[in-house]
Each structure stands twice: as C-alpha cells, then as structure tokens.
Structure 1
Amino acid sequence: MTSEIQKLREITGAGVMECKKALEEAAGDFEKAKSIIYERGLTKAEKKSERATGSGLLHSYIHNGRVGVLLELRCETDFVARNPLFKELAHNLVMQIAAMNPQDINSLVAQNYVKDDSMAVEALIKTAIAKLGENIKVEKFCRYEI
C-alpha cells in the first residue's frame, strides 16, 4: 500500500493523505484512485478561479526564427511563479500557441493539447492549479509569424 501511495503521489502531485484516502475509496484500484484525485483537483481548481492573480511571468519562444510567441501567465504569488512546474506550464503553453495559432485566450483553452490529444488546454491549466494550489490564468499572449 505504501508503494502505491508513493507512486500515486509522483504521478498526481497530491498529498500523502489525499492519495491514501483515494486508494481506500477506490478499494485499491490504482487507476480509479488516480481519477478520484484528478476530479477532486478539478473541483479545487474551480474554487480558486476567482482569486486574484497578482504575480506571474513572461515566457517567450521562437521557432526556427519564423514564429515567435510571448505569453503572460499569471498566478497568485512569486513563490509559485518561480516553481519549475509553473515554468513548465508556461513553456508548454507557448509551444501550443506557436503550433496551433489560437486567435484569443478562449480559443486557446478550448483547443486539444498538442502533446496529449485526449486533454484540452483548459484541463492542463486546471491540473497545474490543483498541483500548485493557486489560481493560474493566461492573461495575454501574442504570436508573430514571418
């Protein structure tokens, strides 16, 4: 049971007790426990969506000197803004914008994620919110192409 809790923590980023409760609720079924944690994380993300995002970062990406993207990704604290998971999210979002050329933020979050077609960009952001414990939002972005 302990190794399953640890494995579940590594995959989901959830706390020890949350993983233990999910495994107990799922009667030891690992995949079911993973989906329970994911659903709870999305619920928590929804609750955080109205909180102010006063910090964040700018992230840029240039592809072959022909496509450039600048993204302003917001969070609540500079502690999360410096977190590697937040920076990874920013990088994944600029790659998404470069590849798919969304016209605005609404169309960006509605798109399927290029690295995992079964997941929408909105779900990617909500997963990060659940893992990091803060509201995260795409404030604005611009894409240039030659």
Structure 2
Amino acid sequence: MNKISIEDIKKLREKTGAGVSDCREALEESGGDMKKAEEGLRKRGIERAAKKADREVRAGAVFSYVHHTGRLGSMVALACETDFVAKTDDFVKLGKELALHVAASRPESVDVLLGQEYVRDPAKKISDLVKEVIGKLGENIQVVDVRIVEV
C-alpha cells in the first residue's frame, strides 16, 4: 500500500471539508486515488445524513435569488438544528445555491425540488447536495419551503 502524504490529506480536506482522519482513511481505502477518496467521503456523508434525518430542526434561514431582469425571484426556507450551523459558510452557500436552482427549475414543491437534478451538476440530485452538506456539518438540514415570484 502506498504511504499517504500529508499534502494529499490536506488537498482532500480542502476539497471536501472532511476531517483529517476521515480524509486519511478515505485515501488509504482508495489506495491514494483522490477521486475515489472523494467519492468515498461523499458516500459516508450521505450515510451520516440518513442517521440525522429524524433530528428536530429549530433554526435556519430564508435565502432568495432575484434574476438580473428583476422579473423573477425565488425563496428557499432552509432549516437546521442550531443557529451556529445556520451561520456557517457551507449552510449559506447551500441556501443560495438552492434559491438559484429554484429560480432556474421552478419546482412546484419541496418534494419536486429534492428529486430534481442539480443545475450545476446533472449527475447529482438536489437531495444528494443537501445530504452532502448534512454529512459535512453534522446536523440535520431540511428544505422547509420553496416559492417563486414572477411578474
């Protein structure tokens, strides 16, 4: 087995936001293959998300997007367990990405949204995007509501 370098662990950690030990373990399991290690970490995040799905969400934020024409806007209510997580860059980025996606794809409901392909990466569903952030932040996150306003 190849020795895993600290530089590789650092690169993987910067890309994924996963912990040092998780990155080292993923690189060891993948034989040093960065892409396989990323995929392994993504799968672990989805598994962790499933374990957190029943936990109550009491905090969160509403995110919006207004198209450059000013004639279309979208809002997404995103809930999490604590105010601390609601203020993290990853949570805010997820909220903004979801608001942009809602404006582009115009889902009729939260369920429809979660089943859609992500506009920036069609190989990924929106539900997978949310699960990845759950795995990264360690808290349950739920899309509570979506709205589209158009003139």
Short-chain TM bin: over 0.9
Cα shift at 1:51: 0.6
Q: For structure 1, which runs of at least 5 residues remain unmatched after alignment?
A: none
What is residue 65 of structure 1 aligned with on the other side?
70
**TM-score, structure 1 length as denominator?**
0.96
What is residue 44 of structure 1 aligned with on the other side?
48
What is residue 8 of structure 2 aligned with on the other side?
4
Sequence identity, in percent? Answer: 42
Cα shift at 1:86: 0.6
- Structure 1 stretches of 4+ with a deviation exceeding 6 A read none
**TM-score, structure 2 length as denominator?**
0.93
Cα shift at 1:25: 1.5
What is residue 139 of structure 2 aligned with on the other side?
134
For residues 4-43 of structure 1, what are the structure 2 equivalents within 5 Å?
Answer: 4-43=8-47
The 3-state SS of whatever aligns with 2:85 is: helix
CA distance, structure 2, for counterparts of residue 97 and residue 78 of structure 1: 24
What is residue 130 of structure 2 aligned with on the other side?
125
Amino acid at match of 1:12: T
* Residue 145 of structure 2 corresponds to residue 105 of structure 1: no
Cα shift at 1:105: 0.6
Q: For structure 2, which runs of at least 5 residues remain unmatched after alignment?
A: none
